[in-house]
Amino acid sequence: MLTNEESRIEIYSQADKPTDSSEVTPDTPIEDLNLNWSEKELPEKARTKHVHRFHPYLGKYIPQLIEVFLRKYFTPGQTVIDPFVGSGTTLVQANELGINSIGYDISVFNILLCRAKTAKYDISKAEEEIFDILEKARLCAKADDKQLKIWDDNNSNQSPAETDSQYLKDWFAPQALSELLTYRQLIDSGGYKYKDLLKIILSRSARSARLTTHFGLDFPKEPQREPYYCYKHSRICKPIEEAFKFINRYSIDTVRRIKEFSELRTDAAISIKHGDSRRLKIPPVDGVITSPPYVGLIDYHEQHVYAYHLLGLKDERSLEIGPKANGASLKAKEDYQNNIAKVFKRISDSMPSGGRMIVVAGDKENLYEKIAELSGVEVEDIVKRHVNRRTGRRANEFYESVFIWKKR
């Protein structure tokens, strides 16, 4: 067992120029990596390229960071696993580089999002379906009697879309809710092939159409029903009353993004499994790249609660590791360490000797030294990076560590 001093090999890059992820090779010295990208050096357009901007997701890492470590520690044809797959960044970037990938997650919404991002589409068919349902939704929204009728494949009218969800009734204006429910019913009745893709367009639209302030989309506290002073726009804004404008906007955006990714994707295999990585069977893999949930920081089901209600998804938040709802007490931290280590220990048993685990975490609580010990891995390097807060009102300084562990 390494001593505490030996095991914490912290790397602070001396390179002046931030790393170009596309230039990293297995021979790139770890101490030459400068991962402190500024907005100018790595603008939002680059960080949210193609399907990475399919749907907002709190707590995800940027694709360039993942590309750096995929290029350094993995080669085409190998298999990387992300046991906390989240929005699927690891899967997408691995595929671009011809590396097979496996993703697990307890959140069924995350699985839906990953499958929509990584599916291999017939682009013409996908575009046809996206604009077909969009046109039907548009006609419903413009109905003179405002009673939104739904078409099936035979163009016969069905009943107006309705819901028993009090959450949806509380968080959406009547017109917006009718438009969202109409689109949802059209997905079910339209005979579409790419339903997962349409559901993500619907969910993204619902997120924007909620009765919340423009600056409070990430953490809405209560429905906003009256005009308010908007810190984002520096003026008085009104709550959102309609959803169709978002459905239209995100439909166009989604078509563009799946086209962009289709030109980059490879034939590398992608496997996505819904379930608890503490219990699911782990197949043979070459290594790990992941960012586990942070203890006491985010409730991952709650951030997409509108999608669970709108799409009728099963909520399994009781199985989350380290949710915000459980706090960050000493007991919560110990439970977190044991559960995260259980995942890594099980994966280690399916890895070859010398295989790497790349774990990205903001470890201000100093929990990961113990996690590495419990997982039975060797701490090879720890790369520190400064994360620039670029969006929203969260302007505070933030640092995270990239732990590089090796199976003995």
pLDDT digits (tens, 9 = 90+) for 199-241: 999 999 999 999 999 988 988 999 999 999 998 899 999 999 9
Average pLDDT on 194-201 reads 98
- Amino acid present at 295: V
Do 170 and 208 form a contact (C-beta atoms < 8 A)? no
pLDDT at 114 over 70: yes
pLDDT at 154 over 50: no
Range of the domain at 54: 4-120+274-301+317-407
Q: 338-371 pLDDT, tens per residue?
A: 999 999 999 999 999 999 999 999 998 999 999 9
Number of domains comprising the chain: 2
Claim to verify: residue 195 and residue 284 sit in the same structural domain: no
Claim to verify: residue 341 and residue 290 sit in the same structural domain: yes
pLDDT at 326 over 70: yes
Q: 260-318 pLDDT, tens per residue?
A: 999 999 999 999 999 999 999 999 999 999 999 999 888 889 999 999 999 999 999 99
Q: Residue 21's domain is classified under what CATH number?
A: 3.40.50.150
CA–CA separation, 346 and 27 (whole Å):
29
- Amino acid present at 198: L
Claim to verify: residue 354 and residue 377 sit in the same structural domain: yes
* Torsion angle (degrees, nearest 10) of CA 196, 200, 201, 205: 150
Q: Does residue 307 belong to any structural domain of this protein?
A: no
Integer CA distances (angstroms), 124 to 6, 130, 138, 256, 262, in order: 56, 10, 21, 12, 12
Claim to verify: residue 97 and residue 46 sit in the same structural domain: yes
pLDDT at 136 over 70: yes
Do 85 and 103 form a contact (C-beta atoms < 8 A)? yes
Claim to verify: residue 128 and residue 257 sit in the same structural domain: yes
- The pLDDT of residue 12: 57
- Amino acid present at 318: S
- The pLDDT of residue 9: 63
Q: Does residue 312 belong to any structural domain of this protein?
A: no
Percent share of the chain, pLDDT over 90: 80
Do 154 and 146 form a contact (C-beta atoms < 8 A)? no
Q: Does residue 310 belong to any structural domain of this protein?
A: no
- Amino acid present at 331: K
Do 260 and 49 form a contact (C-beta atoms < 8 A)? yes
Do 54 and 116 form a contact (C-beta atoms < 8 A)? yes
Claim to verify: residue 176 and residue 294 sit in the same structural domain: no
